[in-house]
Each structure stands twice: as C-alpha cells, then as structure tokens.
Amino acid sequence: MVFEGLAEKLQNTLKKLKGKGKLTEKDVSEAMREVKLALLEADVNFKVVKDFVKKVKERAVGVDVLESLTPGQQVVKIVNEELTSLMGETQSKLTFASKPPTIIMLVGLQGAGKTTTSGKLAGLLKKQGKRPLLIAGDIYRPAAIKQLQVVGNQVDVPVFTMGDKLSPVDIAKAGVEHGISHGNDIIIIDTAGRLHINEELMEELQSVKAIVKPHEILLVIDSMTGQDAVNVAEEFNGKLGIDGVILTKLDGDTRGGAALSVRTVTHKPIKFVGLGEKLEDLEPFYPDRMASRILGMGDVLSLIEKAQASFDENKAKELHSKMKNQQFTFEDFLEQLQQVKNMGPISQLMEMIPGAGGKQLKNLEMDEKELVYIQAIIQSMTREERQNPAIINGSRRKRIAKGSGTTVQQVNRLIKQFDQTRKMMKQFADMEKTMKKGGKPK
Ligand code: GDP
C-alpha cells in the first residue's frame, strides 16, 4: 500500500491523542515528535518535515483546540488539513488550450515511466471524448518508439513516428503539424529522456519547447526513488520550467516521501499519479483524498468513482434490487467478481473504505487462477444451491469439491467470500445512496 508505514505510524500517534480527554502542550509536543520521525522515515524532505510539524504544532497548542471538548480529534483535523495543503490543497487539472490542439510535453528521465504514462494519459483523455495524438519523440531509449506504438494501439490512439534518425525537435514539429491537419485536439509528445540530467537533454527539451510552445509540460517522476525524484523535479523546473508532475509507481511506493515533498519543494502540483503497469492505472491526484487515506479516514469518493466507471448502470440497478430482495446468487457473484476485478486489485479498493484498512481483508485478494477455480466450483453447484447457498452443508461441500476438482477448504473459502462480497456490495449500495442524496462527488 502507498504510505503504508507512514499511515500506520501517524494513525497510532493520533489514536493516542484521541484517546485522551484533555490534552496538554506536552502531549502535543510528544505526538509531534513522533509525527516528525514518521515523516522522516517516509523519506519526506527534511525542510518540509520541519515546516509541517511547526505549523501543526502552532495550531494544535492553540487555546481553542486544547480547551475544546475533543482536542484529539481537533489535532487529527489539523494534521489532515496540513497534509492536504502540503500536497497542494485541491486537484490541479490540465490546462486546455482555448483554441485546440492542446499540446502536452511529457518529460523525464529514462525508466520513470514516460512512455507508459503517455499512453495512459492519451487513453484517459480519449475516454473523456478527446481526440489525442501521440508523438514518439524518444529516439534514444531502444524500443521506446515501438513501445509507444503498442500502448497507443491498446488505447486506440494514433501514434506519429518518424523513426529515430531525425532530431527530436524536427519530429515534434512535424508531429504537431500532422495533428493539426488531422483534427486532433490533444497532442502528447513523448520526449527523449536520458539516464541522468545533463545539458544536452535540457537543451534539446528547451528547443522542443520553443518550437511547439506546449500548453503543459508535465514531468514524469518515479515515486519509488523518493528524494531523488524530488531533486530531479527541482532541476527540471529550474532549467526547463514545468507545469506539473506525474508521479508514477505509487503502487510500489510504501514510503511516499516524493508525493509529500515535491509540491512544497518545486511549487508545482502533482496532476496525476500512476498506480500500476496497466494502461488504466492513471488517476488524477486529489491532495485531500490522499491525506484522508494516509490518516485512515478512507477515500470514499475515489471508490465511488471507480465503481461508477466499472459498473454498468442497468446491471447495477438489477443487482441492487437483487441484493435488496436477497436474490443475489452465486451466478451474480461470479459476474461480480469479474467486475470488481476490473476496478483493480481488491486490496487497493479496501484501503479506500474507511476503517477497512486492507489488512484483515487481504484474504479477498485473488488471482486469475483462483477465478478459474471459483468458476468451476460454482458450476459444480446445483441450481438450487447457487440460488440458496444456505443449504450447502458438509456433504454437499464435499460433492462440489469433488465435482470441481478442488478441495473442501477451497469450497468453504469461496462460500465465505460470497458472504463477504454480499457485505461489500451492501456497502457500495449504501454509499451510492448517500451520494445520490448529496449529488455527484466533485
Ligand atoms: P520511460 O523510459 O520513462 O519511457 O519508462 P517506461 O514507460 O518504459 O516505464 C518503465 C517501467 O515502469 C515499465 O516497466 C513500466 O511498466 C513501469 N511503470 C510505469 N508506470 C508505472 C506505475 O505507475 N506503476 C508501476 N508499477 N509500474 C509502472
């Protein structure tokens, strides 16, 4: 999980505060020392940590907090607000040109995830009804062009290439002209990276920038490289000028230092985060939601959005009524599993549910192979059993195991998962109800 260590430590520290009826300045100071250590261990920039702790402390030892009825909760609220502010307050959207096409330059070092992210971004914008064009400008990394063609193909976005013999500037220029003449309203240039920052790279990018006049220069950085990523961002911003950052590989980053420091150090917002290798694993970055997630307050809005994106509305309605009338069967379950899988790893979803915290539900994680077993098990059930799982007793379980080539334990586990899923679906249904009352999430 992203921010795993930090989340656990902060939550423990703050839990202690919440447990106390009355807080003294000393309580706050002690807690802030723990917060400071937790942030440093998460590889957050030292200066950022110092400022953060100072700000939280100043606000937390205020009379109105310490004398309030719930001082602990007030401190949690302050930490949440300051974490949000650290990461940029509100979501930073892309700037679209008033007169299309909008030209987006993706820059960054080799291996940061530039090419993958170009494809992801094109796919995301295409889903929003845009007509993107990708330009293959990375002429140095072997296979980068081919890779862009593959991802472009996967998200059904055309890729403009001129091979690797021309200069990146000429390719970018010709690509933009091609996009304009073909009516593309978004042009994404996958520029050439290098292993390290050097003058040649910066000069080349400056020339591309001067020729194509991009509306957005987005720097792609690998969050797993922690403070190195932040240093890279500072350099690119100083030498080239960037409009925002895309932080990749957040799925593998348990510490989160880059995510928490880059905005404060560069004053440039994180616009998107990469959360996996698949092309749909790119999400807009919401500082407020991320802060709530770190503090274990859940991220219901992201969850609802994911659910909305993956579920077919009519199916969902049918399902709701089935759930309400308790007609939810193993057949629905199988279909459901497949849909939930489309939303991403189940453990990742669980992190977003307040209080669920992922851990105790890790047993819900399943891979492709397991789905095959599940299918076999369900197919070995009689119609009656599928519709009324309560009747599946010991001897039936044995028969089902034998019929599906699985073990009784596997059958037991599935039946248990079925129950858990029913509960989870109820949570979805309730959440949707809340959302309908309050309108669409922002
Ligand atoms: P480039 O050299 O900057 O163009 O980097 P690539 O796009 O080739 O990405 C380098 C590696 O990082 C590839 O194996 C990608 O699949 C992987 N990658 C990119 N973004 C993510 C992400 O958000 N999460 C994970 N887990 N892997 C990623």
The one-digit pLDDT tens for each residue of the chain (442 residues) are 667 788 888 888 888 887 777 888 898 899 999 999 999 988 999 999 999 999 999 998 887 777 777 788 788 888 989 999 999 988 999 999 999 999 999 999 999 999 999 999 999 999 999 999 999 999 988 899 999 999 999 999 999 999 999 999 999 999 999 999 999 999 999 998 888 888 999 999 999 999 999 999 999 999 999 899 999 999 999 999 999 999 999 988 878 899 999 999 999 999 999 999 999 999 999 998 888 888 876 655 566 666 666 656 666 677 667 766 556 778 777 776 666 666 666 556 666 665 554 444 444 444 556 777 887 898 899 988 988 888 999 999 999 999 999 999 999 988 887 877 777 766 666 665 666 555 444 3
The answer to whether 191 is a known ligand-binding residue is: yes
What per-residue string of b and e applies to 288-322 under the rule 16 or more CB within 10 Å gives b? Answer: bbbbbbbbbebbbbbbbbbbeeebeeeebeebbee
Peptide bond into 101 cis (omega under 30): yes
Q: How buried is 397 (Cβ within 10 angstroms: 0-12 exposed, 13-18 middle, 19+ buried)?
A: buried
Q: Which residue has the tokens 């899923």?
A: 421
Check whether domain 102-294 has CATH 3.40.50.300, yes or no: yes
Domain boundaries, the chain: 4-86, 102-294, 300-438
Three-class DSSP category at 74: helix
Pocket of ligand 1 (CB under 6 A): 108, 110-116, 141, 144, 193, 248-249, 251-252, 274-277, 281
Q: Residue 204 Cα, ligand 1 centroid: separation in angstroms?
A: 23
CATH architecture for segment(s) 4-86 = Up-down Bundle (1.20)
pTM: 0.72
Using the atom order of ligand 1, give the atom closest to the CA of residue 282.
23
Q: Residue 114 Cα, ligand 1 centroid: separation in angstroms?
A: 7
The answer to whether 194 is a known ligand-binding residue is: yes
Q: Which of 277, 285, 348 to mutate to test the pocket of ligand 1 (most atoms within 8 A of CB)?
A: 277
300-438: which CATH number, 1.10.260.30, 3.90.76.10, 3.40.50.11740, 1.20.210.10? 1.10.260.30
The answer to whether 386 is a known ligand-binding residue is: no
**Protein residue closest via CA to atom 28 of ligand 1:** 277
Q: Residue 275 Cα, ligand 1 centroid: separation in angstroms?
A: 10
**Protein residue closest via CA to atom 16 of ligand 1:** 277
Distance CA 399, CA 394 (A): 9
ipTM above 0.95, yes or no: yes
